[in-house]
Structure 1
Amino acid sequence: MSYETYAELKQLVLPHLQPIGTNYREAISGEQKLVLTLRCLATGSSFASMTVPFHMSNTSIARHVLATCEVLWKVLQPTEMPIPNEDKWKSLAKRFGDLWDYPFAIGSLDGKHVALVNPMNSESLFYNYKGYPSIVLLALSDADSCFTLVDCGQYGRVSDAGVFQASRISQLLDQERLIIPDESFMVSTTEKRIPFQVVGDEAFPLKKNLMKPYAARTLDTIKRIYNYRHCRARRPVECTFGILAKKFEIFQRPMRLQPDRAITVTNACTILHNFIRRRDGHMIDRTSEINYEIRPNNEQGLMNLRPQQGGRNSDEATEIRDLIAAFFNDPRGSVMWQDQNVFRNVLLLED
């Protein structure tokens, strides 16, 4: 974090951290609380290890850090992570098209485990498949590796798909409350429309507005190229989690916090990540050469089909994915390096 960014953060946060003094001693200043919190998040130091340099008790440090994390989320969330409107979704899709050559995506979705140290009275609820207790951070990322939406706090034992189904992101998506544009894409390979969508990995369900790669057992050339382009569009969310864990070393070891407090700290880190990255991060400037057109949904097409319920992929979602795969294999929707990257580790046998 640069000094200018820190000065801006301090200006925003300090009015909400005003100390209340007494006749017996001076209160801890708001700036000291902010510095204490940033050091805890950035270095991953335990509360006990900071008692000597900051001349505070373990209990006081914990109280001030958690209170400051709540203030950080409350102050920064409306500007750094608001729910996007239609114009914002369109700009996010354009950025995915320019940077990652996937113009239909409005975000990439993934979840990560935040390790904890034996939560009290939790039995096996928080123990994940790797054998340690955790909570799950589910996040939607934009093309520049900033968080668009986050949902933190699901039990570690729940799978990615289960976390998604129970998350607020899924509820907003299914109830069409995310204000995703009604417009759809017209491409040269089909007369049907392709809607705006989120890209996820194979752990998530396939829906008309949530795409996942083809299963490995059914791959042919067209599907391999689609999977490459799909996984390329998922890189931002992986980079987002990587930058978050590298910037805030509190994620490098299990948190010695109860789950509700760990959620508060994690949310504060995600909002700080956006705040710092948009001011100090390196943003790539690139324009894609793929040709497509966005048109209003004035006629019936794929968007108006009713999705099927149940465990199987809906016909609508499967058809949308096939249309995108065909477009990515067409000269007007392909990129020149995709064949080389897809088949560099595949042995091609000549007849």
Structure 2
Amino acid sequence: MNRRRREYGAYYHLVAELRLDRDRHLNYFRMNAEQMDHILSLIGGQLTRQTTNYRQSIEPKQRLQVTLRFLGTGESFTSLAFQYRLGTSTVAESVHTTCQAIEQQMMALQFPRPTEDMWRAIASTFWGKWNFPNCLGAIDGKHVTIVSPAHSGSLFFNYKKTFSIVLLALADADYRFTFVQVGDFGRAKGLSVPADFPLPGSGVRGPMPYIIVGDSAFPLKTYLMRPFPGNRIPRWR
């Protein structure tokens, strides 16, 4: 079956048609063709494999497309292997290699190390656009279910009674991600957060800390604000 990849594989037929339909391409890959080509121009060299007399190598673009489909939908490696007429191990290797290449070539470009000036600019936009002062971003997280690593005990066991790692992401006032953290712990003070600054219109009151905002799943901290607990809005007298 896999030897007839060029006759029936999704890469040579379905994906080729999708490039002619921008909306369906975006729906299938969560990305338009121009964005995909841009990523390929950055990481294609790391995805290239040598063709031999015994085996035709898988094109870098096909490796990228399989990876984007996996990341966009969570389809299993086995399902993707059937669609693209690839070996399951080839799909797995493609996903791992492509993700590693994206991290190496694009992480510093897309997520530059935060600076105090960057945080001040974000806070200024939050104030101007959302009328919220001293805000560095909105945070949310997701539990990514995993198979418990060997000899890890209850380290990855969560309150939902599954094993997972936590993905945290911080977004600015324009909904753009500015910082991501996966599977480990961090502190806000390690992110070059600016020194406390007086709130707009606060007069003679002292400076206040810069903060991030999150939902009720997060704890209340000096650097993190969350809603009041419960479903009722408190009444002020």
- Pairwise TM-score range, normalised by the shorter structure: 0.7 to 0.9
3-state SS, counterpart of residue 198 of structure 2: strand
Pairing 1:44–2:74 present: yes
CA 1:96–1:218: 2 relative to 1, 3 Å: closer
The aligned counterpart of 2:221 is 206
Q: Which runs of 5+ in 1 are unaligned?
A: 155-166, 223-351
Letter paired with 2:226: K
> Residue 91 of structure 1 aligns with which residue?
121
Structure-1 residue corresponding to 2:133? 103
| Correspondence for 1:68 | 98
The aligned residue for residue 33 of structure 1 is 63
1:221 aligns with 2:217: no
Letter in 2 for 1:14: G
Alignment of 1:1-351 (within 5 A): 1-117=31-147, 122-154=152-184, 167-168=185-186, 170=187, 173-174=188-189, 177-182=190-195, 184-192=197-205, 193-202=207-216, 203-207=218-222, 209-214=223-228, 219-221=234-236
Distance apart, 1:22 and its partner CA: 3.2
Residues 11-48 of structure 1: per-residue CA shift (max 9 Å, x gap): 12213322233343232221111111112222322111
Measured against aligned partners, the alpha-carbon deviations of 1:192-242 in whole angstroms (never above 9, x if no partner) come to: 2223222234532421x33334556994438xxxxxxxxxxxxxxxxxxxx
Larger relative contact order, structure 1 or 2 (CA cutoff 8 Å, min sep 6): 1
Q: In 1, Cα distance between the equivalents of 2:147 and 2:199?
A: 51
Equivalent residues of 1:119, 1:133 under 8 A apart: no
Query: Residue 98 of structure 2 aligns to which amino acid in structure 1?
Result: T
**Cα 1:122–1:186 shift into 2, 3 Å:** closer
**Contact 1:21 1:27 survives alignment (8 Å):** yes
Q: TM-score, normalised by structure 2?
A: 0.74
Q: Distance in 1 between matches of 2:233 and 2:88?
A: 56
- For this pair of structures, how many residues does the alignment match? 204
Shift of 1:104: 1.2
Contact 1:106/1:142 (<8 A) preserved: yes
Aligned to 1:290: none
Q: Is the 8 A contact 1:137 1:153 kept in 2?
A: yes
> 1-side partners of 2:172 and 2:147: how far apart?
31
1:116–1:134: 8 Å Cα contact kept in structure 2? yes
- 1:236-270 Cα offsets, whole Å, 9 max, x none, are xxxxxxxxxxxxxxxxxxxxxxxxxxxxxxxxxxx
Aligned to 1:225: none
Distance (whole Å) between structure 2 residues aligned to residue 178 and residue 123 of structure 1: 31
Q: In structure 2, how many angstroms separate the alpha carbons of the residues matched to 1:188 and 1:62? A: 56
**Structure 1 residue matching 2:120: 3-state secondary structure:** helix
Cα distance change, pair 55–178 in 1 and its aligned pair in 2 (3 A): same
Q: Tell me if the contact between 2:133 and 2:199 (Cα under 8 Å) persists in the aligned partners.
A: no
Aligned partner of 1:348 in structure 2 is none
Counterpart Cα distance in 1 of 2:105 and 2:123: 27
Which amino acid letter does the alignment assign opposite residue 106 of structure 1? Answer: L
CA displacement 1:145-165 (0-9 Å, x = unmatched):
2322222125xxxxxxxxxxx
Contact 2:133 2:200 in 1 (8 A): no
Using the TM superposition, give the Cα deviation of residue 123 of structure 1 relative to its aligned residue in structure 2, in angstroms.
4.8
